[in-house]
Every structure is written in C-alpha cells, then in structure tokens.
Chain A
Amino acid sequence: AQSVTQLDSQVPVFEEAPVELRCNYSSSVSVYLFWYVQYPNQGLQLLLKYLSGSTLVKGINGFEAEFNKSQTSFHLRKPSVHISDTAEYFCAVSRGSNYKLTFGKGTLLTVNP
C-alpha cells in the first residue's frame, strides 16, 4: 500500500520569506511524485513532478522540490513567496499498473503581507 503524509496542515509565512512544505511517502517500490496547487475555489494545477533522473525538480512559479529516496521525502520549496502563492498544496504519489494518484491531505500555505 502507498500513502502520502504532509506533515503540516497549515504554514503561515510572511511575503518574501522562504518556505518549505514537507511531504513523505511510503512505498516499497519506485513511485512517481507530484505536487499540485489548488487556488481558492478552483481545480488543481500541476506544479512539478518527479519521474526519474535528477533529484532536484523545478516547477512553475519558482517552486522546486527535491526527491530523497533514503528519507522517502519530496519536500517543496520556494526561496521567496508572494501573496499570490496563498493556496492549498497537495503532494501525490502514483504507482502501479493503473498509475492511480494518491493525494496527501494538503497543506494550506498562507502568505501574509
């Protein structure tokens, strides 16, 4: 079985501060990893994904994530956040013959002025 743990349900930060949103996954075999963002009252949008290769993945809007196999983590980072980054962020894993996506419970990032 696979599961995804997002360690923080809420992360408040000030504008222009760095942020890290944590994600750990459990799986005994290789997985594909994703971060999606959900702005208020909207659907989800892909930020970035890790399939293979370089463990540092760059995504849209200045976000990046690092895949760490030994720690089974895929933390999301941004060096300087904007008010517009306020949203719910979901980590997700995909594996198996049908590549079903399993989502974490989400982290609400609130950027304050």
Chain B
Amino acid sequence: DTAVSQTPKYLVTQMGNDKSIKCEQNLGHDTMYWYKQDSKKFLKIMFSYNNKELIINETVPNRFSPKSPDKAHLNLHINSLELGDSAVYFCASSQQPGPYEQYFGPGTRLTVT
C-alpha cells in the first residue's frame, strides 16, 4: 500500500541510450512532480502536472519529456542520456497545486556510464 511508488529503483545505462522512469500514486492526489537530486543532495524541481496538465516546466533539456496518462501516473522519459544526467530522480504528489504537503517516492538512482 505504498503511497508513491517509482520504478525502477536503480537504473544503470550507457551514454546515448533512452530510458524511462515510472511513477504512480494511490493517494487520489491531483498534482504530481518530478525532482532531480544531484550528488551534493541539491534538490530541484523539473516538472509538475495537475490533472494531466503541465503546470511547471523548469529549465530542463528537452531530452527530458514527462508524460501523464492519468492523474495517478507521471512518467519521465529521457533521450540520449548524458553523464550529467546521473542523479536520483524523485517523484512526488500533493492534493492539489498550492502549499500542501508533498509526498515523495523512494527515488530512482540513475547512473550513466
């Protein structure tokens, strides 16, 4: 009965490959997010969707493309992976956009070699 789940937990791949990370929440929330945490633990928002509509789109290379098939799912597809994409990617959800608690998934550690 995990609230926010992500798959896979670990992802090791080579430069130039394309990969996807999946996220699902069973909290009935309307809003979902993708964050990137670098090796120094700095956490930065990448995207946010509310009811399948993109509402936050930070300065992220267009190799990164989020997709929300329904409000319980938010996937992240990354094309032409680069060494600098190595990081931990967190999915989160909240009741709606606003100063609400965000519930984070366990993270996906992506290593690009």
Q: Residues of A with Cβ closer than 8 Å to B?
A: 32, 38, 41-46, 49, 51, 88, 90, 94, 98-103, 105-106
Contact = CB atoms under 8 A, between A and B. Distances in A.
B112 interface: no
A61 B55 CA distance: 33
Given A42-B106, A43-B107, A100 B4 contact: no
B43 interface: yes
For the side of the interface on B, what is the size category? 20 to 34
Given A32-B99, A46-B101, A98 B41 contact: no
A43 B90 contact: yes
Contact of B43 (A46, A49, A90, A100): A90
B86 interface: no
B102 interface: yes
A88 B41 contact: yes
A42 B3 CA distance: 13
Given A42-B106, A43-B106, A98-B56, A103 B44 contact: yes
Interface of B: 4, 40-45, 48, 55-56, 90, 92, 97-99, 101-102, 104-107
Contacts of A100: 45, 48, 56
A94 B99 CA distance: 7
Given A98-B55, A100-B56, A105 B4 contact: no
List 10 tightest A-B contacts by C-beta distance, closest first: A43-B104, A32-B99, A44-B104, A103-B43, A46-B101, A106-B41, A99-B98, A43-B106, A94-B99, A98-B56
Contacts of A46: 101-102
26 contacts: A32-B99, A42-B106, A42-B107, A43-B4, A43-B105, A44-B92, A44-B104, A46-B101, A49-B99, A51-B99, A88-B41, A98-B97, A99-B98, A99-B99, A100-B45, A100-B56, A101-B45, A101-B102, A102-B45, A103-B42, A103-B43, A105-B40, A105-B41, A105-B42, A106-B42, A106-B43
